[in-house]
Amino acid sequence: MTGLLRGEPQVISAGVGLLADAVELQAARVTRVDWSPPMAGTADDLATVLRDPRRAAANELAVRRMFGARAQLVDVLPARDALGLRPGEFLHAGPPITWQRASGPLRGALLGAAVFEGIAADPETAAGLAERGEFGLSPCHDHDAVGPMAGLVSPSMWVFELADPATGRRCYCTLNEGLGKVLRYGAYSPEVIERLRWMASVLGPLLQAAVRRHGPVDVTAILAQMVQMGDEAHNRNRTGTLMLLRDLLPSLIESGKPSADVAAAVAFIGGNDHFFLNLAMPACKIALDAARDIPGSTMVVAMARNGTDFGMQVSGTGSRWFTAPANTPEGLFLGGYGPEDANPDIGDSAITETAGLGGFAMAAAPAIARLVGGTVASALATTRRMYEITLAEHPLLQVPALDFRGLPAGIDVALVLRTGILPQINTGMAGRVAGTGQVGAGLVTPPAEIFPAALLALAEAAGSLVRSRPDARRS
Amino acid sequence: MTGLLRGEPQVISAGVGLLADAVELQAARVTRVDWSPPMAGTADDLATVLRDPRRAAANELAVRRMFGARAQLVDVLPARDALGLRPGEFLHAGPPITWQRASGPLRGALLGAAVFEGIAADPETAAGLAERGEFGLSPCHDHDAVGPMAGLVSPSMWVFELADPATGRRCYCTLNEGLGKVLRYGAYSPEVIERLRWMASVLGPLLQAAVRRHGPVDVTAILAQMVQMGDEAHNRNRTGTLMLLRDLLPSLIESGKPSADVAAAVAFIGGNDHFFLNLAMPACKIALDAARDIPGSTMVVAMARNGTDFGMQVSGTGSRWFTAPANTPEGLFLGGYGPEDANPDIGDSAITETAGLGGFAMAAAPAIARLVGGTVASALATTRRMYEITLAEHPLLQVPALDFRGLPAGIDVALVLRTGILPQINTGMAGRVAGTGQVGAGLVTPPAEIFPAALLALAEAAGSLVRSRPDARRS
């Protein structure tokens, strides 16, 4: 004991600051550790999962596979050919859902898609068909696809085909329609349907001709450049869109298509800063799909919302969705819209956050603060906070403002529960009422309860392995 | 005196830190002021200029005019039509110079231009003509023009025409050739001449058709977006180039020109991240020219280098050049080149720094650190330091990483001398030997002695006004 009194005291404090404050008032130096107990009720499962002998190697493999994937745009073609969709079959964002539980924007998008496909003459007729269960509805994620917001894919829509040249893994996504009154935000007025028709008859075939003439476009390389030029690839895709346009231009021009069509397509893409989102998303999914189904891995491989439920999939628990009611984003609103107009969180676009982009990359895109709310300082702080819940730093996606540190990637369910920090998502906000369109953009997190549910499943899977080493805990 | 002893001491320290250190060791708080005496021998002139009763209002007017200017790209045409250049007449970067005193890269560019114009069959013949004084040589700046590096303009080269819609003020600049072996870096091999011929016969006419079809392109608005996307508009013009391409594309495609030519032009522009530099520079000159010739103003309106001399013009001293031997940049070298291969500082491109871009905007483009040397932290520090010597913060050009603070713009000769801080320029480096081309990129400052010279001229101009108020100094 006398040793303690002889020298300068060495004080380390964790948890609430009362004691540290008192010691500091007596002029001693205190090292404060930012610690809080794990999420309530999760301590036992967390102990089991953290003792899983497979975990470290499994997560290392998951990260290696995620970072090893490359995504190239290899073709553009109708969803019926790419995904085998038949008339009356529709894909949607997020985990599985029925018409009865679907939110306004998902319903609106479905009605619009049915009219676009010529299955129903008008939205009212389409609603009747939907009500009677005559449409096939399944998640994009179950069909190697992703879709922003409502994420509606119907057979006649054209989709980008992305592939990883090393593994042949493929992922699909529709072409981005722009902002405002668009199908993915639940709008279905005649102008929306008209635009979809032009995209299917002019834009899609043109892009197909250009991509086939050009050869594969390296989407991963464009993503790496974007985060050095102020994009975070979820709500800011300006430079990505510009680079795509630049890369495809010579082939577009020499496609032999009417120059008025080429000019219109180029003006459409150039006028839509979000066009590249629909390439960023499938590129992220290709990387995360490579990390699926690794026993013992606690890494999140998908976060997706259907406007009613938020769903998450984890590498070590296969294709099981952990779901809970989606939160409603908080942020900035367009025109006269306000919080009461916003639908809960919707879209597969949280695949970008799952891969280290979007909300995780806010530090790379400080201007995003003006779109979704917050300050430049909060954008930097958000990215820094995400390092607490991720397994690795992305070797290709580096942030100049953080001295070229790699983005935080690979969300670890165990780290989320250990720290209580939830993944930060930034997102567009759809109007609650079908037919409205976009009402704003903001910030949101997954519902916290999906993480204990996933942890329980991971603990159950690890259970026998951990119990077979009864001394592990004490050692 | 007892009052001093009763309370906590209030200590403010300026200059060397010895006293402050000693006081701090006695546990008193010291506010350190970063102060150093004015540049040696300038105290009297500085006092005169700072007492000039016109100065505050004159600088305010200069800043207002600079910020009030807008630059639009309104046409593309041959220099002979735009600038009235006749065969054998050439413009160059920087202050006036003769062939005899010209540096290697300026000589190389002149020889290449003479061959390109068909005045000489080969560079050797051209050198003979130059030696005998048969070429007309004058600065771009004297002809409403600017040119990067050697800044060579000859009658058959095509130039951008920029105009300020409010004042009609115009400025011209050639089309950017790309990097490496190019005329502006002093290279004149057959491939260089061939490229110039294609630019004059295909690219120029195509851009003319596109700009005339499109109507004015708002270059100032593009600059404002660039600094939010990682460009500083001197050595990084990636997003500027992409946005220009996007804006002109539909008109390029519908120009009626052969689609192979359009495709080649688009590939050329898209493959040259520096293409927009030749629009950024004249846009800066249009803004700074608006601030010229204001009696009493100590604001710098041009910094330019011809490869031998660095020249500066100041609003209150008209068209007089203050010159001194140019410094040699320090930075990173291409391939096997090293410091001994670098020519002294060359080009009109320091017009970007004069307007608050380039080296002054390093904080907006942290990735530039990898091109010119330095770190992200030093890039931020450089922009912060430039606020010490500038009159204002740019209302349109704002830096996300500095919480959207406006760029430091309007260099004040008096502040430079008062603080001893020299303007920071980032720049490409040309090979010292004619014909070499680019050897690297780096950082450089003006030679310090031009500032006391400008100050003396300002003091002389202010002299009678200040002397007429003999009590001003004591009041």
What CATH number does residue A297 fall under? 3.90.1700.10
- Cβ-contact A315, A265 below 8 angstroms: no
* Shared domain check, B383 and B246: no
For residue B371, the tally of other CB atoms under 10 A from its CB is: 17
Is B159 part of any domain?
Answer: yes
Indicate whether B474 pLDDT > 60: no
Q: Of the candidates A254, A259, A376, which has its C-beta nearest B400's C-beta? A: A376
d(CA B272, CA A356): 30
Domain that holds residue B18: 2-35
Instruction: Collect all residues from B whose CB is shorter than 8 A from any CB in A.
Output: 228-231, 238-239, 242-243, 245-247, 249-251, 253-254, 259-260, 262-264, 266-267, 270, 366-367, 375-377, 400-401, 403-404
Q: What is the pLDDT of residue A475?
A: 36
Set of chain B residues whose Cβ sits within 8 Å of the Cβ of A247: 270
Q: Of the candidates A263, A377, A401, which has its C-beta nearest B254's C-beta? A: A263
Set of chain A residues whose Cβ sits within 8 Å of the Cβ of B266: 246, 249-250, 253
Reference B350, options B214, B469, B248, B445; nearest CA is B445
**Burial (0-12, 13-18, 19+ Cβ within 10 Å), A84:** exposed
Helix, coil or strand: residue A392: strand
Kindly report, residue by residue over A286-345, the tens digit of the pLDDT: 999 999 999 999 999 999 999 999 999 999 999 999 999 999 999 999 989 999 999 999
* Shared domain check, B238 and B138: yes
Closest B-chain CA to A379: B401
- Cβ-contact B397, B356 below 8 angstroms: yes
Determine the distance from the C-alpha atom of residue B232 to the mean position of all C-alpha atoms in its chain, rounded to a whole number.
Answer: 11
Is B208 part of any domain?
Answer: yes
Q: What is the pLDDT of residue A446?
A: 98
- Whether A245 sits inside 8 A of B249 (CB atoms) is yes
Closest A-chain CA to B254: A259
* Shared domain check, A117 and A76: yes
- Whether A253 sits inside 8 A of B266 (CB atoms) is yes
Indicate whether B9 pLDDT > 80: no
How far CA A392 is from CA of A8, A43, A66, A68, A386, in Å, comes to: 38, 24, 10, 13, 10
How far CA A433 is from CA of A87, A106, A120, in Å, comes to: 26, 10, 20
Closest B-chain CA to A377: B403
Is the reported ipTM for this assembly greater than 0.95?
no
Q: How confident is the model at residue B395 (pLDDT cuts 50, 70, 90)?
A: very high
Between CA B139 and CA B146, with CA B145 as vertex, the angle to 5 degrees is: 75
* Shared domain check, B55 and B194: no
Is A475 part of any domain?
Answer: no
Q: What are the tokens at A397?
A: 């996606």
Closest B-chain CA to A245: B246
Is B472 part of any domain?
Answer: no
Helix, coil or strand: residue B106: helix
- Whether B229 sits inside 8 A of A250 (CB atoms) is no
Set of chain A residues whose Cβ sits within 8 Å of the Cβ of B253: 253, 259, 262-263, 266
- Cβ-contact A46, A455 below 8 angstroms: yes
Closest B-chain CA to A375: B403
Kindly report, residue by residue over B250-284, the tens digit of the pLDDT: 999 999 999 999 999 999 999 999 999 999 999 99
- Cβ-contact A163, A71 below 8 angstroms: yes
* Shared domain check, B297 and B423: yes
Among B236, B258, B282, give the residue marking a domain's end.
Answer: B282
Among A249, A282, A315, give the residue marking a domain's end.
Answer: A282
Is B474 part of any domain?
Answer: no
- Whether A376 sits inside 8 A of B253 (CB atoms) is no
B376/chain A closest Cα distance in angstroms: 6
Instruction: Collect all residues from A whose CB is shorter than 8 A from any CB in B.
Output: 228-231, 238-239, 242-243, 245-247, 249-251, 253-254, 259-260, 262-264, 266-267, 270, 366-367, 375-377, 400-401, 403-404
Between CA A42 and CA A50, with CA A45 as vertex, the angle to 5 degrees is: 115
- Cβ-contact B57, B104 below 8 angstroms: no
Is B187 part of any domain?
Answer: yes
User: A444 has which bridge partners?
Assistant: A425
d(CA A241, CA B207): 22
* Shared domain check, A274 and A311: no
Q: What are the tokens at B109?
A: 């560019």
Indicate whether B363 pLDDT > 50: yes
- Cβ-contact A274, A176 below 8 angstroms: yes
* Shared domain check, B408 and B362: yes
Reference B343, options B221, B263, B446, B433; nearest CA is B433
* Shared domain check, B257 and B311: no
pTM of the model as a whole: 0.90
- Considering its fold, how many domains does chain B have in total? 3
Sheet containing B330-333: which strands, arranged edge to edge? B330-333, B438-444, B425-430
Indicate whether B317 pLDDT > 60: yes
* Shared domain check, B268 and B153: yes
Kindly report, residue by residue over B24-53, the tens digit of the pLDDT: 888 778 888 877 778 888 999 999 999 999
* Shared domain check, A147 and A61: no
Residues of chain A falling short of pLDDT 50: 469-475
* Shared domain check, A80 and A59: no
CATH of the domain at A217: 3.90.1710.10
Q: What is the pLDDT of residue B40?
A: 82
Is A19 part of any domain?
Answer: yes
Q: Of the candidates A238, A264, A376, which has its C-beta nearest B229's C-beta? A: A238
Q: What is the pLDDT of residue A17?
A: 81
Between CA B259 and CA B264, with CA B261 as vertex, the angle to 5 degrees is: 110
Indicate whether B475 pLDDT > 70: no
Q: What is the pLDDT of residue A467?
A: 66
Tokens 């990390």 correspond to A291
Indicate whether B230 pLDDT > 90: yes
Q: What is the pLDDT of residue B467?
A: 66
- Cβ-contact A385, A424 below 8 angstroms: yes
Reference A413, options A312, A328, A325, A326; nearest CA is A312
A244/chain B closest Cα distance in angstroms: 10
- Cβ-contact A395, A404 below 8 angstroms: no
How far CA B466 is from CA of A173, A315, B453, B459, B469, in Å, comes to: 72, 79, 19, 9, 6
Kindly report, residue by residue over B424-437, the tens digit of the pLDDT: 999 999 999 999 99
- Cβ-contact B437, B431 below 8 angstroms: yes
Set of chain A residues whose Cβ sits within 8 Å of the Cβ of B245: 242, 245-246, 249
* Shared domain check, A403 and A255: no
B38 contact partners, CB below 8 Å, separation of at least 6:
B46, B417, B418, B420
**Can you state the angle between helices B277-289 and B238-253, rounded to 10 degrees?**
100
Is B343 part of any domain?
Answer: yes
Set of chain B residues whose Cβ sits within 8 Å of the Cβ of A268: none
- Whether B367 sits inside 8 A of A228 (CB atoms) is yes
Please name the residue ranges forming H helices in B306-412. Answer: 351-354, 369-372, 376-386
Please name the residue ranges forming H helices in B117-166. Answer: 123-131
Among A228, A262, A282, give the residue marking a domain's end.
Answer: A282
Closest A-chain CA to B247: A270
Between CA A146 and CA A100, with CA A289 as vertex, the angle to 5 degrees is: 40
Q: What is the pLDDT of residue A1?
A: 64
B19 contact partners, CB below 8 Å, separation of at least 6:
B13
Best mutation target among A247, A248, A251, A259 (most B Cβ atoms within 10 Å) is A259
User: A217 has which bridge partners?
Assistant: A73
- Whether B253 sits inside 8 A of A263 (CB atoms) is yes
- Whether A243 sits inside 8 A of B242 (CB atoms) is yes
Set of chain A residues whose Cβ sits within 8 Å of the Cβ of B404: 376
Best mutation target among B266, B362, B371, B378 (most A Cβ atoms within 10 Å) is B266
